[in-house]
Amino acid sequence: MDGVLCADCHIEKTKEFMLMQEQEASRPELCAICRKEIKSDEDRNKPRWQWDMESGSLVCRECYDKKDADHTKRMSFCSLCNSKLGMFYYHPKTTWKIEGNLCRKCWDERNARSAH
């Protein structure tokens, strides 16, 4: 029988699990970006899902504000020419190694260069 424990083993495993939980709870919470200790509730922020960070991580207020501003800029402005993106924008090809989105003009220019 795979995965079945006797009563004594079950109690031991439960104790080990509870000790690990206590140790994790006593560990100070750190910002997932700058690794600074998070001490106050005002400094405890959950990252946005769009940021693609590990589940359960916390971010200090300073890093949250920086990351939010950076994300907003990458989604609202062309990564190459910095012009405001309208309703239509273009994702760069992965081979271009560009973060963020592109306007049509920059995408077309980049695509023409990579085709030659």
In the structure encoding, which two tokens stand for residue 34, read together?
């700058």
37-77 tens-digit pLDDT = 888 888 889 999 888 888 888 999 999 999 999 988 888 99
Q: At residue 7, does pLDDT exceed 60?
A: yes
The confidence score (pLDDT) of residue 29 equals 85
Domain ranges of the chain: 28-76, 79-116
Distance of CA 8 to the CA centre of its chain: 41
Average pLDDT over residues 88-94: 92
In our burial notation (b when 16+ CB lie closer than 10 A, e otherwise), range 80-99 reads beeeebeeebbebeeeeebe
The confidence score (pLDDT) of residue 3 equals 77
Percent of the chain with pLDDT over 70: 95
